[in-house]
Copies of this chain bind each other. A is one copy, B any other.
Amino acid sequence: MKVGIIQQANSSDMEANIEKLRRSIIQCSREGASLVVLQELHNGLYFCQTEDTAVFDRSEPIPGPSTRLFGGLAKECGVVLVLSLFEKRAPGLYHNTAVVMERDGSIAGIYRKMHIPDDPAYYEKFYFTPGDLGFTPVDTSCGRLGVLICWDQWYPEAARLMAMRGAEVLIYPTAIGWETSDTDEEKCRQHDAWLTIQRAHAVANGLPVVTVNRVGHEPDPSGSTDGICFWGSSFAAGAQGELLVQLPADSEERRVVEVPDRRESVRRWWPFFRDRRIDAYRGLTERYLDT
């Protein structure tokens, strides 16, 4: 499977952002991609640096304007597209939602972000109601896609459940970056931890991982911090966690990468699913095991 990865720096001009995405998607399809993955909340700025009720105006229903627009593009290009949208489900009920568009322009399925972060500059719990659809992959003409979103990437449980439901690849649209005040050592540890844990999901589950991250600096609208420097570094890893490609940390880039399906052979040699001690995992559904 050839996968297109579009790592973009966004501005407040949504039309310009979408026009850049459109050109990149077309280019990926010309380079042979059958699946194209966009970054988290790709239409605009990452708006969670402050808590502002006016921002809810940027949400949209699903189906809605973005699924129509990108659905048409998916059909035009003949590719499966993974979108990441700010979903308005009802007044006062919003989600961070990935939408998988089939190559005929229809909606193949959606995933609502299950794990919602909240820390300074990432006030997502204000905006996004935690997902209620569980960890269910989406069946497409490219295979069964285990779509997760950003903060989910820190949770081995999410990756495992997607794999156990037959996902052939894990896909993470994401928007993660550095606080400009962090030391270089701390930045390095964070970036490396982020790459390491997602490669480990590939290892633990014997399947490839594709992660598409935002790039560029976005100022803090409140002016109380220096904003976020998104670290790009979008990548694809194979079923043993080996890096297939990694994009730069500091610039926009589009790349089409061949992601082989080696699940069958890798899992024969490393049959982790065979030996899981499901009789002893009950504690995983607890908050903590106080002793």
Contact residues of A with B, CB < 8 Å?
114-117, 119, 130, 134-135, 151, 154-158, 160-161, 164-166, 189-190, 192-193, 196-197, 199-201, 203-204, 240-242, 269-273, 275-278, 280-289, 291
- Which one of B119, B199, B200, B277 contacts A130 once the chains associate, using CB atoms below 8 Å? B277
Q: Cα distance A165–B276 when bound, in Å? A: 19
Known: A154-B203, A275-B116. Is A285-B287 also a contact (CB below 8 A)? no
Contact B157–A276 (Cβ < 8 Å): yes
- Which one of B158, B161, B196 contacts A196 once the chains associate, using CB atoms below 8 Å? B196
Contact A284–B160 (Cβ < 8 Å): yes
Nearest Cβ on chain B to A107's Cβ, whole angstroms: 19
* CB-based closest 8 A-B pairs: A200-B200, A156-B156, A197-B200, A164-B289, A193-B203, A189-B240, A165-B289, A197-B203
Nearest Cβ on chain B to A135's Cβ, whole angstroms: 7
Most B C-beta atoms less than 10 A away, residue of A115, A199, A276 = A276
Closest to A132 in B: B280
Contact A276–B196 (Cβ < 8 Å): no
Q: What B residues does A130 contact at CB under 8 A?
A: 277
Closest to A274 in B: B118
Q: Cα distance A193–B199 when bound, in Å? A: 8
Contact B286–A285 (Cβ < 8 Å): no
Q: Cα distance A197–B192 when bound, in Å? A: 13
Known: A204-B156, A284-B281, A285-B284. Is A275-B161 also a contact (CB below 8 A)? no
Known: A157-B277, A275-B115, A288-B273. Is A164-B242 also a contact (CB below 8 A)? no
Contact A280–B114 (Cβ < 8 Å): yes
Q: What B residues does A203 contact at CB under 8 A?
A: 154, 193, 196-197, 200
Q: Cα distance A282–B157 when bound, in Å? A: 10
Nearest Cβ on chain B to A136's Cβ, whole angstroms: 8
Nearest Cβ on chain B to A205's Cβ, whole angstroms: 9
Known: A115-B275, A115-B277. 13 other contacts (CB 8 A): A114-B277, A115-B276, A117-B275, A154-B203, A154-B270, A156-B200, A157-B281, A164-B286, A193-B240, A193-B242, A197-B241, A199-B200, A278-B284
Closest to A271 in B: B119
Nearest Cβ on chain B to A273's Cβ, whole angstroms: 7
Q: What B residues does A189 contact at CB under 8 A?
A: 240-242
Q: What B residues does A158 contact at CB under 8 A?
A: 277
Closest to A238 in B: B189
Contact A291–B165 (Cβ < 8 Å): yes
Closest to A151 in B: B275
